[in-house]
Structures are given as structure tokens and as C-alpha cells.
Structure 1
């Protein structure tokens, strides 16, 4: 714990300190964060705890968090309905693209679901920052910075009951662009009542004792309409703080004026209305409920994300610079997901980086996100959450909805920590992968179901006596490729074993990481089609063909963009397809299990579906608003006496060289480095973002080596969508180890080198250029890909 640093010259006077009482948690955060005392020079002070409020340690310190007995009680404040989407009109295109017209996903007049930033007429910049609960600080690694690694921190975790009553936000009113010396922060509670929410600002980077945390300004949100007490309720804008100077200055020096471009660290921490404390201090309460949230009996005190605010600009992803991981905006070139990008992580939790909210998420959208995440983690057999299953309340609405045949009982089971399928071991059932099937006469334009399996193999059954239809890898066919400089690389291709009959056509697909899907949906069709070259007009051997998909709900033709063959047009369709095929669960997209067998009348089913329209929206919201981790191509400013976290032990010069060589090999002909999202997606977070997914989202013929036997739409058996490369470098952490990572559609490639050497067809020339590089240059390309 960093020591507390108090500057006597900045302590409030006794008269000032009595102006208001402050919540218990201010003392909590000051003792934990170690910031210096606040002073009246900034127009904000840190008063003493409110009378009658006992001191309390922060979660994870000396006083442990009470056991969570989570019930399933939400505050009566539902998510407001999303605005309806205006209809789109058909767009005519050249027939060489495969169709003569299609429907865009979003009309230009699509309203935003929620504002995240705007300017008022006088120039005041208003930013709306969504928050969720977490357990510890951003720079806590689970052990002292000078100690050997003892395990991860708890900054990126999701505590019990995170999905109910615990999201909120801060409205940042920045008056500096309007010529004033003032920034206001207004607490916006999504549900129920907070009692004791604190706010730490301006990381005290001038103090050599500050490492994991330590703040120059610790304060709280007092409500003048509740007797100056820190009681803040959903629907109210009464809880606010303000400051009129810059606090991160050397000890003993006066504050300076705020100016455009100043960076301000923000670290809110919420406490909910709870039994036996705060508003309920002195009331009789059983020990089992003491300290628990009144609204649902679960935990009541948390930290939240640490954000970086740039005066006059807004929230930006950040990384740590010398001398003490001081916060600085990440350069734009590292923001793979634009403003949604996840900041660098210093709590040594790289395994959790695919699970985080978009950095620019709105206040109500943070609630949409956690509710969707809950459903993504819920078992459709027993309704339990995959995390804290004995503490989190059972999602009773979904108990027993698992299909009679299925692959897994919850979405997260196939996407390891939102990453990829589990490693396909020889002889093990491939029930975290998809095995798509078709009858002998099936074509992309006219798919026909397999007589036994339907559209895919559902390998597990709720009936213990049912026929075993599992699929496994029986063996691998191996070959050795010798590169021009003599280096040899063994390649392997899986040979599959079916317990049931071998289908006439099949394709084995691993689940891919799910970050960035909302950004991909937000890219305008015109941007993607401009990259298509079906006739190879430029003669580079690379074509790029769009896949065209018929919307199963309305029959409209859309541009395909999701899945290994771009065979899904929308997030909604992708989710509905996975629910049906992998879990046997119906939704408004596919309302009958007959849709899995391609029954032409399956959409005529009556009655309620397992997943309602509202829940389908929440799942879509969750996947849309996942952050993309920023590129780890910069050295962080770790103090000299500390251990550099493995995920940050990078060689920037090698990465820059690898990026240039990647372009020289013309890999960028398919893996387009940069795209721009459009201005029509319902989520403001995803609009007008410069993103770096390294894909053109088009189909390319990759040659016979990667071909299977199943076509989808315009995608022949040897054609695959250019896979986005963002997140590649995080897979070894998310999947548990580098040995658990598998690449390419069927997971055959164990390394990036193997994946590159499998590229054939339109990518053969680029592969040959890569093979001809020196060993050091090939290593630089691999280092670049590993930084993404």
C-alpha cells in the first residue's frame, strides 16, 4: 500500500472543513490511495467523515468484503428502450460484385441509442462516462511491485452481482473550452441509491512514494438536498463536485490554472445503500446482512475503472510512462479499436483483456453491457453464472432451456474468456468448435441439411442414452516446409473421426475472439466494397469478393461480414445462429429448433422463444460494446526496481520493422490495416472511429490446402473471409498459455509461423515473400503480429 502523503500547506482550514460532512469511503480511499490532502485553492476540499459514520477499510484491505448472498432483485429502473431503426433503402451496385442491389444495415437517419459527448452553445464540452464495479486499482499487480509474481490483480474482474444495480456514470462538464476555469463532475446513478461514493482525481505523480495508486485530490459526492450527505439516487443530478485548478503539482507548490490538453486521471469508487452503515447506521441488523446492499443483499462497495480525461477533448485510452507509470494518452496509431480501445493493463490480468467495456461507453450503455454479459455467461441448463456460481443469483428464466442436443450450455464455454475454442486434443470431443454439415447436393446458393445432423453436428445430448454423435481429431497429417535459408517448419492438418455417419460435406470451425464485432458492424458497406476487386483489375493476384447474405428475418440481402466465411450479415444473426446451433436455444432470429435442420417453415413457429427480443438486444449490445485492446507496441515506464510484466516486455523497434515488412510482403492487400466506421450505427461509441482491424472483410480463395467441402453463399469451399488480426498477441494469455493457442479456421496452426505458411491461393505470393525474408526479418513480422 502506498503511504499517505499529506501536504500541510494544502489542508483545509477548520472553518472550511466543517462546511459539509463526507462519506465514510473518502477516508477509505485516502488511506488506500495515499493522495495528499485537498485544499480550498482548488475550490474542492476533503471534509471529515460524516458524524456517526464509522470508518471502514476498502475492499481487499484489512477488512474483507462480506460474503455475497446475492439475490435476484433489480432496482425498479429498467433500461430505456433503444430507438427504433429507420428502414433502409436498396442500393444498386455493379453486377460484378455478385448482386445488383442490396440493403445497407443502417440508414443515414439512424438515431443514437445514447449520447456520449456533445458541446453546448458556449463551447462547454460535456462527456458522459459509463462505469461498472471492479475490485481493486488499475496498477495493483497482486503483489508489491518489487516482489516476484504471485498472481494477478483484481482490477479487470467482475465481482458478484455486477449485472444488477451497480452501474453508473459521471457527466463531465468541461467549461475550459468556454473560457472558464471550471470542470464539474455530476454523478449519475443507473439504479437505486448510492451512499458513500468517492472520487479520486489527479494521480500524484510528483510523489516518489506513489506507485500503484495515490491521488492528489480525494473527495466525495455530497448531496445538498440530503443534508450534505453522500446520498445519490437514480434520476437525480444533485450529487456533484467541481474544481478550478490543476492539482498534480510538486509538493508545496501552488496549483496552476487548467488549460486545454491537460490530462486528469479519474478514479471513482461506489458504495451502495447498505445494512448497518451509512444511511442505516445504528439500525439493528443480523451479522449476515451487515454491510450488504439493501437492494439485493449482495456486495455494496467497489472500485471502478481509472480513466484519463484530456481537457477540451474527452476520455482517451492511456498507458504508463516514466518515471512511475504516469498516465499519458496512447498514440493514435496504437488504438486498434479507435476510441473504444482498452488502455494498457498494469494489474497483470492480460487473460481478461477481451472482456472489458469500450473505453468510451455511455452511462446507460454500461448497464446494457453488464446485463448482456450476464446472459453470455448463463447456463441454459441450470441458470447459473459461470463466475461465482454459488454467489450470483440463478437466472431462473433460463433454467431448463438447453436444447435436447447441443454442444455447450452457455456462450462463454466456446469462447474461452471471450477468446477462441479450447485446444483440439487428439481423441477429445470437439464440443467447443462448430462442425457445419450439408447433404451431397448442398450448394452455397441452395444449402441442404445433412440427414442425420441438419446444418451442424450437435455433439452432446441431454438424454444419456442418446446416440453418440461426437466428433474428434483422430490424427494429424504432417508435412515439412523448408524455407530458402534452410529453416524447417512442420505443418499439421487434422483428420477427423465421426461417431455418427460421416457427412457428405462438412467444415470444422473454431470459435474466434469476439472483440471488435460492433466496430465491424459499424463499417459502411461502401467502405468494404471499395476494397473488392473480383476481376483483379490491378493484376496483383488478389481479388477480394463480397459474400451476400439473405436476412433470415425479412429476406433482405445484406453484405456478409461475420464468421469465417462472412456468412452472417449482422450481429443479431450471428448470435441467433450460435444460440440455435451450439446451445439448441431459440430466439426471434430462429424461433424454432427446426431452423437448425433448415426447415423452410421454421419461422412460422408460434409461442415465446427462449431468448426474448429484449434479451437478444442485450446480448447484441454486450458484444457490440466490447473494447479492443490497444496495440502493445510501446515500452511502459516501469520503475527501475520493478519487474516488467511479460505482456509489456516488447521491442518497439522490432515491431515497427515488422509492420513495414508485413506491408512490403503485400499482406496488407487482404489484411487492410485501417478502416473507418460510418456515422449511422445506433451506438455513438462506434461511430466515426478510425480502427485498425487488419482485414478487408472480403472473401479470398486460399487454395486447396485450406479448403474444406462446404460452401456458404458466395464463399466456395476454398474461400475464407480475411480474419481480423487485432487481439492476436493477447491469445496466449486469454487461452491460458501459448501452447493452447490455435489459429486458422479449424485450429490446425499452432504458431503464427505455421498460420502464415498455410496461406495459398491469392495469398501465395505474399507467403513466398515472407519465406524469402531473413530469419531476423521473419521474427520481426511475428513480433509485429504479436503486438496486435
Structure 2
């Protein structure tokens, strides 16, 4: 154990972005009278303590999540396969926390959650004109990010109330901050500004503590205010604030720390100097750079001329509505599936990071997948891995929150799921395989246990020739089992996990309105809902998750994965016997490996992940700057692809736009116009994509329409274009192959794609790659 002293109560530090060298402890800045303070255009990369961690595990309790209101059964037409179901959420469901509201006089109050980051939003790991030397560190997660380091800012916008005033109140989730700074108004008028640089740099100082920059949880004493617009040409006076003004916000928090700030002059060892008093980890961080629109609130942004200046992204690009992740200019496209919703609340940012910790924790040794030697061991989850399992942590199957790593021929498929069933099993009456149960758990903690590895033995290949003569090779995997070959099985790759909360927030009636089980319009496309029995309550819900929509809730999806992939119990499946459908597996006493509150945290994390905005716009890189590959797009080609995608009737299943409801517990997810390109219904995709296992109403050839959001980021998240695989079993190496595998109800649309010119097909692929 390191020699770390804990002083006082647990302290939480927040994620923030400062103007490097600007404002820590400076006086509260008011109106337009102070002189503008433009920071230098570059900053030293090592101006904060190294990313050291701690062995001190200091969890911070989260306020209880309000209980869900009971729902009543809703009757539906029998053609939908059932006569009634239970909605997930009732009208009047309370929100977990507010994220925005208006006061009686029109003042707009927005609550902005923050987490720690390591650098600025436009720092790419090298100068803008230099060759690529690696990614930046804006989207990373520093050690101990999950404890004591989230916070928020309450933005009190009085401009809609007819006043010239905006207040920013620092809200610390836990403990004490000391020296938190705030930068506002990106100085786009300064030609030297690139990586960062703001017009207004200030600090959050506490008038109750003699103006010291010390801010504590439970207090609203630290705030700044301004009454004019600062991003003006040098030498010109500030102007009045007006509705629609855009203001970039870049906070940078500091925790109470040894040898500095509140503890300056105190004796301290070199090993502790600069470390956070609460847990011995890092004490200074940046945070997300957000864009605030006066009178409206926070919006996802992208960079425009000059110098990637911040501008609101058009609504059409916001695949996840206001949860969408802004364009990323730190060259970290591999990390875009891991970020918080853009509109996340203050306490919800804390729920998010705590759930993320569990998602990255090994249930064998309790170590975090990132900074394993710095982050404290999660002692409560040591040695909870089941006797048989596939992986020891959730993130191991979802590469950087993306898809399974697809191995080569002969390699074990232990980041994929191999579902199994007995000969007599049906969708309505599932029966476990005698050897494996409901899935093959390919690894064992007992070195003498039988080897149940599953691998790709070979591929059956088919040469497909398009009408214009282009040839495409399609491949179908042939599997090898070290154990007995199950009578029925289905191999599934793990899917990317962004947008899962938004899917849960869509009202059932919205999805069911897209169903057409009897093909009333005669277009050959049906769309059938799957119906799922809740494993905890036995109530019937609409299926939403998984390749066959066989899971109704995030809670069920998480519990199912914990049990089947890791042998870890939870309140959803409290016994490992549930993996074999033991009828008494829910009738157990005592605790489970994952507690109720921890299960809620993982659900919170998955719910609040941002969906990356569509990369369909050119960014305003300076002429002498290398354009990052993920932003080197052709908007005209993408727009042409959108039109062709619709003309081919692909939108009959891949519904472009849908509205979430007003009942989800997270305010962030309510009433969002989202663009998942899915109707979340089952469609018969023909014999080419059929396997042998049915689930509920989903026959072996039926699959849920997969959401397409995030599709274009897969090649970055998975490590390369060659590592990105498509369709349920990952057989398709390219998007073109994936389209050509479509059969059944999608046959006509596939034919329209085949009949396109090569240039038109490339436009469709360019569109899909922008999502």
C-alpha cells in the first residue's frame, strides 16, 4: 500500500478545461470593463502532474434513483403477436435530475455535468502543421476518474428575461476543489489561436472564504458572472449579449492537494506533493469544451472557419439528438464511443463514471482495464468470475465500446457469443443444450476442465457479380467446436453500445406504429415486434436489444451478459443456474456479485453514452493544416448517398428519424429527435442469413433491424478497416458485403443497390461511413 494519507471527508474533483496558465485564483470577472486576457496560442504539454493513481478506493455515494412508477397493461391488435403488454415507463415518471428549466421571469437555467480530461479539444498530439505523431488526450480517462472528480456548472442565463447577465455557479459533487478556473469565449479573432485560446479567463472564488478559490460540495458560493460579449476584434469594445450568441465554455478543475493551494507551506514528502488529499491521485484536470447558445442551452458543435471556430452542428447531423458527441479534433476517433452525453446532468456525470468503472473492472482480480497499476483494485469484485466464462470484464467483448474483436481462422471466439439450444427448443419454449446451457462458456478457471473452445474452421466463399460486372466475394464462416456440436446454435458478435439509453426511451407505441406484420402496403416488408418476458417480474415487454430484439430492457441486457459471458450474478439473474433455465434459479437468498445499486450504475452508464454526430460536413481547418482522416469527407457525395439510400427503399426498415418519449427517468433522453436508421423490429432476411436458433417471435432467419448510428466510426474503434466486421456473426468485411447478404424482405432493396452505377454505390457507402 502506498503511503497515502486521507485528510477529512472524501473530496471530488471535476473535469475541466482551462486556458493553460490562465486565471487560477484570479478575481471574479464581471462585465466588459476588464481588459481582455488572451492566452498564448500554445501550451506546454507537461503543465499538470503526471497521471499517477492511487491504491485508495474512495467511492462516493450517489443519491438514490427515484423508483419507477408501476405501469398498466396496454391492449394491442392481435396481428402484432400478442393482445397486451406492459410499457417500460409510466406517465409522470420522475426524472433522475433536472438538466434545464426556466424560472418565472424567463431566466434559463442549464445544468452541465463535467468529468476529468487530460488535454484540450483541439490538441492533436502534435502541432497543427506537423505530421501525425499520435492522438491527443482529450477523450481519455485519467486514473481515478471514477471517484472525487466529477462536478458541474449551473448556467443562469438572464438574457431571455431581458437582462444583460449570465451567471455560472460551480457545483462540486463531492469534497473540495481548490483553484478551479474557467475560460469562455474562444478568441477566434486572434490569428495565433489554434489549439486553445479564450478571451475571458477567470477563477471560481469563494467570497465566504476571503475570495480564495476554494469551493465545496453542498455550497453555491463559487460563481462568476459577465454582462457582455467578449469575442470581439482586438481593441474593439465589447458588445451586448443577445439571444443566439454562442459561447465556448472551458472549465478546468483542481482538487485540494498536498503542498499547494490550501496546503501551501505545509511539510509534505516529494511523493505526495501535488497529489489530491482525498485519495492521492492526480489533482489537476481539464474537461470538455462545451458550446452554449444564449437563450437555448448546450449544443453539440463542430469547427468552422476561421481556425475551427465553434459553431452549432445542424440538427440533421445529430444522430443522438442533444446527447450527440461533438466533432472531435484531437484525433481520437477510436474513443468516440466512450463519451458522456453532451447534455448530461451534474449528478448523472457521477453515475456515468461509476458505471464505467464497473464496465472496465475484472471480476477475477478487480483491476481496471486502464491504468491497472494506478487505479485502485475494486476489492468487492475480486474472484467473482464464474467457473466457466468467456471474458473477465465487459469491455473485453466490446472493443472500446465497439464490436467484438474478430479473430482469424482457428482462434477462439471468446469475445463473441455462441448461443445454444436443445433439439426440441423453440422460440416460444427455449430448452438449454445439455452440455452448454444457453451459451458456450469457452474458458474455464479449472485447468482440468474440458475445452469448450469455438473457432472459425474455414469460410465458404461465393463470387457475387453485380450487373455492371463488379465482382464481390462473400464469405460465410464454418465453425469448429472442441466440445460437442450443439443441436442448435447462433454465433453473435458484440455490438457497439452507444445509443442504448435512447432506444429504451422510445415509447412502445412509436415502434409499434412502424410494424406491418401483414404487409398492408404490399411492399414485401413487414416488421414484426418481438415480445419478451421480464425475468424478474414475468411481465411482457416489447423487445428492443440484441440481434433478435430478445431483451426488453437495459437491465435485462446487462444481467444476461454478466451471467452468460462471465458467470457473474446480479439481481436479474441471481444464480448461475439461470444460465440453464433452472426453474428455481430466481428463488435464492443472499447477495449477488453485482448489487442492485451497481446494476443501476452500469445501466446509467450505458444509457448516458453519447452517439457521435454524423460526419457529413467539412470542417474549417486552416489551409496549412493537415485534415484528420475522419474529417476528410465529401458532403456532396454523402448527400447523394442519403438520397439513393431512400430511393432503394432501405428506409423501409432503417427508419431515418424517430422521436423518444417523455417518460424515461433521464431527462437527457426525453423528447429527443434521433436518427438511428432502425425501426427496432424483426424482419425475415432470407436463408442466407439464417442460422438454427429462434428467440421468441424471432425465427432463425429473422433479425432486428440494426441501428446504423456509429457505423462509420467502427474502423477507428476496432483498430483498422480490416478489423471492422458487419452483420450478426461478423461475416461481412465491408459494408458492401453486408448489403449484398441482405435477402428475404430486403431482396428488392438489395436489387436496387446492385442496379446502381459503381459511383452511386460508392455514394451510398460514403453516406453509411459518415454515420
TM-score scaled by length of structure 1: 0.94
Aligned to 1:578, the other structure's residue is in SS state helix
Partner SS for 1:700: strand
For residue 358 of structure 1, what is the aligned residue in structure 2? 341
3-state DSSP class of the match of 2:183?
strand
Structure 1 match to 2:430: 447
Matches within 5 A, 1:562-577: 562-577=545-560
Instruction: Check whether the contact 1:39–1:46 (CA below 8 A) recurs between aligned residues.
Output: no
Alpha-carbon deviation of 1:65? Answer: 1.6
Are the equivalent residues in 2 in contact too, given 1:45–1:219 (CA < 8 A)?
Answer: no
Which string of whole-angstrom CA distances, capped at 9 and with x for unpartnered residues, describes residues 564-602 of structure 1?
Answer: 000000000000000000010000000000000111110
Matched, 1:619 2:619: no
Contact 1:561 1:697 in 2 (8 A): yes
Q: For the residues of structure 1 that align with 2:205 and 2:30, how far apart are their CA atoms?
A: 16
Deviations 1:591-614 (A, max 9, x none): 000000111110001111000000
Return closer, same or farther for 1:709/1:231 CA change in 2, 3 Å cut-off. Answer: same
CA distance in 1, matches of 2:762, 2:604: 38
Corresponding position: 1:758 with 2:748:
no
Task: Pick the aligned partner of 2:32 from 38, 42, 52.
Answer: 42
Contact 1:66 1:292 (C-alpha < 8 Å) held by counterparts = no
Coordinate RMSD, CA, aligned: 1.8
Q: Which whole-Å CA distance do the structure 1 matches of 2:769 and 2:399 have between them?
A: 19
1:413 aligned residue:
396
Q: Tell me the residue number matched to 2:21.
A: 31
| Unpaired stretches in structure 2, ≥5 consecutive residues | 1-14
Pairwise CA distance, 1:471: 0.1
Q: What CA distance in whole angstroms lies between the structure 1 residues aligned with 2:537 and 2:511?
A: 23
SS at match of 1:300: coil
Is the Cα–Cα contact under 8 Å of residues 113 and 684 in structure 1 kept in the other structure?
Answer: yes
Corresponding position of 2:231: 248
| 2:22–2:201 CA contact under 8 A, matched in 1 | no
Give SS of 2:109's match: strand
Q: Are residue 218 (structure 1) and residue 201 (structure 2) matched?
A: yes
The answer to whether 1:501 aligns with 2:480 is no
Partner Cα separation in structure 2 for residue 524 and residue 44 of structure 1? 51
User: Any residues of structure 2 matched to 1:319-334 within 5 Å, and which?
Assistant: 319-334=302-317
CA change 1:26–1:295 in 2 (3 A) is closer
Partner SS, residue 21 of structure 2:
helix
8 Å CA contact retained: 1:37, 1:217: no
CA contact (8 A) 1:33 1:213 kept: no
Query: Which residue in the other structure is 2:464 paired with?
Result: 481
Q: Is the 8 A contact 2:420 2:490 kept in 1?
A: yes
Of 507-516 and 59-68, the range deviating more from structure 2: 59-68
In the TM superposition, residue 60 of structure 1 has moved relative to its aligned partner by 6.2
Specify the alignment match of 1:678 in structure 2: 661
Aligned residue number for residue 93 of structure 1:
76
1:285 aligns with 2:268: yes
Once the two structures are superposed, the pairs formed by residues 63-212 of structure 1 within 5 Å of their partners are 63=47, 65-66=49-50, 68-74=52-58, 78-212=61-195
8 Å CA contact 2:31–2:225 kept in 1: the answer is: no
In the TM superposition, residue 424 of structure 1 has moved relative to its aligned partner by 2.9
3-state SS in 1 of match to 2:354: helix
> 1:465 offset after TM fit, Å?
1.1
Look up the SS of the partner of 1:434 in the other structure.
strand
Shift of 1:71: 2.9
Match of 2:5 in 1: none
> How far, CA to CA, are the matches of 1:692 and 1:586 in structure 2?
35
3-state DSSP of counterpart to 1:479 = strand
Q: Within 1, Cα distance between the matches of 2:125 and 2:460?
A: 44
Residue aligning to 2:766: 783
Equivalence for 1:18: none
Distance 1:432 1:228 in 2: 54
Q: Are 1:204 and 1:248, in contact at CA under 8 Å, matched by a contact in 2?
A: yes
Distance 1:205 1:557, change over 3 A: same
Find the aligned partners of 2:196 and 2:368 in 1 and give their Cα distance.
32
What does residue range 367-766 of structure 1 map to in structure 2 within 5 Å?
A: 367-766=350-749
CA change 1:676–1:725 in 2 (3 A) is same
Distance 1:470 1:60, change over 3 A: farther
- 1:61 and 2:45 are equivalent in the alignment: yes
Mapped to 2, the partners of 1:293 and 1:26 lie a distance apart of 16
- Give 5+ residue unaligned stretches, structure 1: 1-24, 48-57
Find the aligned partners of 1:387 and 1:759 in 2 and give their Cα distance: 38
Cα distance, 1:32 vs. partner?
6.9
Q: Could you say if the C-alpha distance between residues 753 and 33 of structure 1 is closer, same or farther in structure 2, counting changes exceeding 3 Å? A: farther
> 2 CA distance for matches of 1:478 and 1:138?
45
Within 2, Cα distance between the matches of 1:402 and 1:465?
17
Distance in 1 between residues matched to 2:447 and 2:56, nearest whole Å: 32
Is the Cα–Cα contact under 8 Å of residues 59 and 302 in structure 1 kept in the other structure?
no
Check the 8 A contact 1:43/1:243 in 2, yes or no.
Answer: no
